[in-house]
Structure 1
């Protein structure tokens, strides 16, 4: 397995001791770096970030007692459609069903968060099952898989004979491994429907981002004069400033995107799962809107009633669709109206992007990240308010820059950013985390120092959980101290001092004009640098628009 991972071009694997020790030593000898983390979740999130940036399976391992923690950590990779291979030890069959110390059945734990969870009983089974696992992880949509290795630390498999002398080479098996072509008859019908008059918009989701279809998507949108909204996970797919890009749709949206989509008569869904986040609780698009759909995942087809659904890789389908659309001019009135709404919103939010307030408005922090993120830089953002701030206010070039976001697991971003940096090479990686999220995995600062993993860790420090703060203050009424008890942290934590305790540098930012220089200094370092930005908990992120509920 070690030789196969090296042959396949894997640069890092992530683990919690004690598991597969001889294999890990062999990996290091072969040039594959084993990264010891401080928790199964930390290790899994690192592997997740590695997988999302590289398209290669992130490999993570833990011994038997850590299997439950490892399974829980795969939820974000499952929801975020990341290819991962999770390896766990398992006590031998003779110890099962006998109250063995720290042993519980692993299969039920992994079932909800993996495409496949398989017990590996003998070393001779490993080449076949590992090959199947790699394949299953990288098909569309990518998902985690799990191999449960015989032996507390997998030692039964390690000490056995696979019966194969040569390593496997999976270097070409990246996600998405297959790009199915569209049915030509359905594609022609889709082209006809799209060419019809009417207000046409496009909603591109995480499946579109996985397909890397940005160039083809823009070409189709320009031909059709169709405004494009994206899911949060597809935020980096298009240039933020393209005239047809109306931003993120759904619950993590700035106001114009939902309103524009709600006006549409026809919406083309491209790799979009139509969950409650991207549709703002299934209120966007409107109930009378005609839906047309392209998706590689057959389970997503017709999840919402579609007038036409086409199973195909989004990039392959859009490239085949473009020549069928003709060159007849289309009415640009709807797209121009959308552009005006976006311009008005940008003008309204500009004073916040330039704010000189202290405590700092996070909108100003987002503007500074936009201005300083390199052309090929990677931004990794946490969930909750971190996702809303970055998804609505940070600009991306749609070409070299990447945006990775937590699919819902608070605390994911920091270890995921470390894993992403392992895959990024010389590219700069910036992590955007709230203080509440960072508390989850502060110990991975030690991992960053020990392994020499250099990221810029931006802490939006408002000393509390900001997203729910105003609602709780209202609920507390004349007892504001109750709200503080439930959602505020102490005022004495110094993240820069904590960084120093791990042997790393920290830069504390209390004035807006200090943000840019601090970011540039941190990104120039060859080690992880913590940039602690002191913001206010009462600053509100953009609120999504929703249609009025009729009485």
Structure 2
């Protein structure tokens, strides 16, 4: 399913935030637009100011929201709001960046986030998840002018080294005349495979030097540049060689990764798997790419996995990796597939090819290349024995989990919560999940239809999910967005409840409240000599926090769920609301999520 299917349409009419304007900066024209005469004159002279050019270009390029922390780009932000683009003020640079991240994953366009020079270091740290998750973003920062550099300028450190590890490109924008060229270049880089953040460092503490200068250019329209911007088909000879190799092996497992999700190749992947009689496993980021209840699907593989997927991939005679890296999470610390198992690859990112020794590595967009592969492959006769084995493993595991999915226990078993979310999520709904245990619960037990539904997960930053869900909703229009967060993760960005209320952004925020960090709980209890009271000083929170009361303090509703039969009605009530609703589900810290199967030795 990838990131397609979202749109910037159906924008919510949100209350306008008030903005101040620093002295000496030009105000936008009334209404944010010029008269026809002024428009003609400016186009002829091509003398748009930086703030005018940037606001018009962002609006023309289809963005419905930008995310920021004051004080930066104030004239631009005021002009954006007048043109129908909503500037969303967050409560931290990380919150703003995670919102832009979620927005980008749904819209396919770069999420735009801005921060003042003082906040640049915080913003750089916030781009880690977008970098790891292959998300297109444009991070705009102010920078003190050259005369203030290397002179112990107040609260400023060099920006370029901070952003280098988490961006594809970093560009210093010295003057307004540089802005059109570098903004266009940054947008192009952000959306090309693999999509990732780009940093534009704008001259001026609040970018005012770039904003006030003349650009000498007309506003740009980059709306057609979405990720993945290019879909190159692999070399025909490589595709033919890959087809021959696949036909030689009766026990093929397919591993589809985040690159496959970005490409949106679910239909082509299922068709290939059907013709090869090959089970399909996915990375956590590609959960939902194909219907999770489909007979061909064996689940998420790797460290955040239920047992069947690892067993199936480990038992394959050949593994086809489609848009999947070979990192430790998807391979369960490089133990799955079995060492020595032949691997063949399709990936749009040449740097991902041959990280694991591959017999055949094919460079091309997964969807376009699978279409070409299907033409060459034809409809071969295949033995279904390996697929039958895989399907039997999945069926047995589902039968084993069925009692937990229907559990009436209190505190509530999170497995039951997952089952209720599966039942309540609309056909085009979006689920946004945090990392850690939230990723394992949702990645193994929540079901997706493989078509209209979408699954977004944190690539590693705890606390990412709630602000990312707000950003996803900004891009999703009328589609419902459900956020799955643990209480530990929610504490990171709880203040963004105020942002949700102020800007009228409606998500269903599900809090799996077990009053602690559950993932590492049993290991720490054992390390403490089976003394929970000792382990609790490190991983348990106070039992007094009432998230519903906190929601009420921000002017939002909260629904406390203490019995399993209350979950479904609470979810449906929350999703029917036109504003954010907190659904606080009281679960037990001793409930264990599915654990991955690990080969002996």
Find out whether 1:133 has 2:186 as its counterpart: yes
| Preserved CA contact (<8 Å) 2:258 2:324 | yes
Aligned to 2:493: 441
Aligned to 1:250: 302
- Show CA shifts across 1:11-39 (max 9, x none): 00000000000000000011000000000
Find out whether 1:21 has 2:74 as its counterpart: yes
Aligned to 1:231: 283
Partners of 1:197 and 1:414 in 2: how far apart? 44
Aligned to 2:203: 150
Aligned to 1:87: 140
| Preserved CA contact (<8 Å) 2:99 2:470 | yes
Match of 1:193 among 245, 251, 275: 245
Match of 2:213 among 140, 149, 160: 160
Compute the displacement of 1:479 (Å). 4.0
Partners of 1:470 and 1:437 in 2: how far apart? 19
Partners of 1:350 and 1:274 in 2: how far apart? 32
Partners of 1:458 and 1:478 in 2: how far apart? 31
Structure 2 CA distance for partners of 1:186 and 1:372, relative to 1, 3 Å: same
Match of 2:130 among 77, 91, 108: 77
Aligned to 1:169: 221
Partners of 1:274 and 1:180 in 2: how far apart? 22
Find out whether 1:314 has 2:366 as its counterpart: yes
Partners of 1:425 and 1:479 in 2: how far apart? 49
Find out whether 1:3 has 2:20 as its counterpart: no
Compute the displacement of 1:118 (Å). 1.0
Partners of 2:89 and 2:379 in 1: how far apart? 56
Aligned to 1:284: 336
| Preserved CA contact (<8 Å) 1:247 1:392 | yes
Compute the displacement of 1:188 (Å). 0.3
Aligned to 1:58: 111
1:118-517 → structure 2 map (5 Å cutoff): 118-164=171-217, 166-477=218-529, 479-517=531-569
Compute the displacement of 1:324 (Å). 1.3
Corresponding residue SS for 2:484: strand
Partners of 1:175 and 1:323 in 2: how far apart? 25
Match of 2:165 among 112, 125, 140: 112
| Preserved CA contact (<8 Å) 2:249 2:317 | no
Partners of 1:521 and 1:277 in 2: how far apart? 36
- Show CA shifts across 1:157-198 (max 9, x none): 00101011x210001000000001110011000000011142
Corresponding residue SS for 2:298: strand
| Preserved CA contact (<8 Å) 2:250 2:382 | no
Partners of 1:257 and 1:229 in 2: how far apart? 6
| Preserved CA contact (<8 Å) 2:111 2:138 | yes
| Preserved CA contact (<8 Å) 2:320 2:345 | yes
| Preserved CA contact (<8 Å) 2:487 2:515 | yes
Match of 1:536 among 588, 592, 597: 588
Partners of 1:259 and 1:274 in 2: how far apart? 17
Match of 1:68 among 106, 111, 121: 121
| Preserved CA contact (<8 Å) 1:265 1:288 | no
Partners of 1:141 and 1:230 in 2: how far apart? 18
Q: State TM-score, norm by structure 1.
A: 0.99
Partners of 1:467 and 1:327 in 2: how far apart? 45
Partners of 1:52 and 1:141 in 2: how far apart? 13
Runs (4+) of structure 1 moved beyond 3 Å?
Answer: none
Structure 1 unaligned spans of 5+? none
Partners of 1:163 and 1:335 in 2: how far apart? 62
Find out whether 1:521 has 2:573 as its counterpart: yes
- Show CA shifts across 1:305-360 (max 9, x none): 00000000000000011121132310000001100110000000000000000000
Aligned residues: 548
Q: State TM-score, norm by structure 2.
A: 0.91
Compute the displacement of 1:5 (Å). 0.6
Partners of 2:369 and 2:60 in 1: how far apart? 33
Aligned to 1:37: 90
| Preserved CA contact (<8 Å) 1:209 1:237 | yes
Compute the displacement of 1:478 (Å). 5.3
Corresponding residue SS for 2:331: coil
Structure 2 unaligned spans of 5+? 1-53
Partners of 1:275 and 1:399 in 2: how far apart? 27
Corresponding residue SS for 2:308: helix
Partners of 2:329 and 2:410 in 1: how far apart? 32
Aligned to 1:100: 153
Corresponding residue SS for 2:225: coil
Partners of 1:23 and 1:126 in 2: how far apart? 13
Corresponding residue SS for 1:466: coil
Corresponding residue SS for 1:416: helix
Partners of 2:226 and 2:448 in 1: how far apart? 24
